[in-house]
A = this chain, B = another copy of it.
């Protein structure tokens, strides 16, 4: 073929950290998101789709003392010199949308949003710079009924996509309870408080004894290095540990333990009351502790949120890279964040929401065998005689009109072997063959390619003879026979 010598050829390459999604990777994600959108819709949430591009000012990622947006976002200047950027999540655009359209939106405003977000970060294995988020938020509802509703909706969403009950658990905590605990400790200023928050965040990793040591004098870490502690006394540390380990045998016991841990603090009491109310509201809707549970050991995001915090964990085990069993872990999280819109309007607006990790949930569904496996491709009608393309097209039209995915081979038909290789690459269940001889006799050859592949892999000569994978049928039987073969493998 002719080569173009004029200019150096561009590289056919995705930019670093970006990838392409093919076939079922696209449709499986779309199906999952559509099922979740159905649940969100039933809960009264409305779809919102904002543009991928926001002003950097609205995103709030512009530092006043530097002359371009800080790391983390992809940003550029518009013709009028103003900075624009790709959204890095779906929450910042919600804040902008709500502030911009608040006179036209219902109050409270329940919305869901699904779509790609972009992060200008160093890509790594499995870490991409564009990925999907799937969020639902309620803006303008101060009541914990809004938080309870989000938890119930999250539970329904996980089940509707195929995560079985008892394969997941939604754990709920409350930032105000922690604030109550911090109050009882008599901490020395914000720095010490922040050090305590940072330490609590490590609870998942270092456990009870680890947190106790790190809040006190310090500890040796796994590498043998000594990590300095926050320097608190035992009396100060006790309430933190009481809080983190307060999960009882039932919600009543947990609440009693929490009340003890906060020692009468007003904000703490508010937090415990909220947890109790959420439990009651969820129970009234039929969501018991087999699905949603108060669990004060949930600390992820506790520093960021202002009230209830929730996390959905998948509780079944998978094998990690090294073949060791571990729990699948978190697939969604959220909570209450009441200062969302204040940046724009100066008015505090209560808000609560959840974000589902789309890629992690898809991975979980694959792990459970709910999706994945090579999907069956289209029926391939082969081309034995280039001049009879109209005949072959009529066959695929018939199949398609009967709802069967089908196509004519459109490559160079000279080499019949290439046509069967193509059908193989497409994972076609059936190849249809009509040569001149068949045409004259009014028949077709129909090959069961799935059975053919199975036989080729393992069959003895006897089995091979007994179970032919190719059938001669009359032309009129095309749709019926193809459907019969497909139905057996679908």
Contact = CB atoms under 8 A, between A and B. Distances in A.
A280 B390 contact: yes
A167 B224 CA distance: 77
Given A4-B346, A348-B1, A411-B141, A14 B51 contact: yes
Interface stretch (A142-150, A298-306, A315-323): A142-150
A37 B426 CA distance: 18
B26 A48 contact: yes
A314 interface: no
Nearest to A402: B42
Contact of A346 (B3, B43, B99): B3
Nearest to A140: B411
B51 A20 contact: yes
Contacts of A42: 400, 403-406
B11 A55 contact: yes
A106 B9 contact: no
A340 to B, nearest CB: 12
| Most B C-beta atoms less than 10 A away, residue of A51, A404, A411 | A51
| Most B C-beta atoms less than 10 A away, residue of A10, A37, A100, A286 | A10
A285 interface: yes
A453 to B, nearest CB: 16
A15 B53 contact: yes
A106 B422 contact: yes
Nearest to A115: B116
A50 interface: yes
Interface stretch (A74-82, A182-190, A226-234, A289-297): A74-82
A74 B58 contact: no
A44 B378 contact: yes
A345 B12 CA distance: 8
A240 to B, nearest CB: 30
Interface stretch (A249-257, A391-399, A429-437, A457-465): A391-399
Contacts of A41: 27, 405
A86 B118 CA distance: 12
Contacts of A16: 78
Contacts of A140: 411
A416 interface: no
Interface residues on chain A, size class: 35 or more
A393 B285 contact: yes
A77 to B, nearest CB: 9
Given A20-B49, A285-B394, A100 B149 contact: no
In the complex this chain forms, how many copies of it are found?
2
A344 B3 CA distance: 11
A410 B343 contact: no
A58 B12 contact: yes
A105 to B, nearest CB: 8
Contacts of A43: 378, 400, 405-407
Interface string A13-24: 111101111111
A281 interface: yes
Nearest to A412: B142
Nearest to A101: B20
B15 A54 contact: yes
B20 A48 contact: yes
A442 interface: no
Given A12-B100, A348-B1, A106 B407 contact: no
B58 A11 contact: yes
A15 B84 contact: yes
Given A14-B100, A53-B74, 11 more contacts: A14-B51, A15-B55, A18-B51, A20-B49, A20-B50, A20-B100, A21-B47, A23-B46, A24-B47, A108-B410, A149-B393
Interface of A: 1-4, 7, 9-16, 18-27, 30, 34, 37, 41-44, 46-55, 57-58, 60, 64, 74-76, 78, 82, 84, 86, 95-97, 99-101, 106-108, 110, 116, 118, 129-130, 138, 140-143, 145-146, 148-149, 152, 156, 277, 280-281, 283-286, 342-348, 377-378, 389-391, 393-394, 396-397, 400, 403-408, 410-412, 422, 425-426
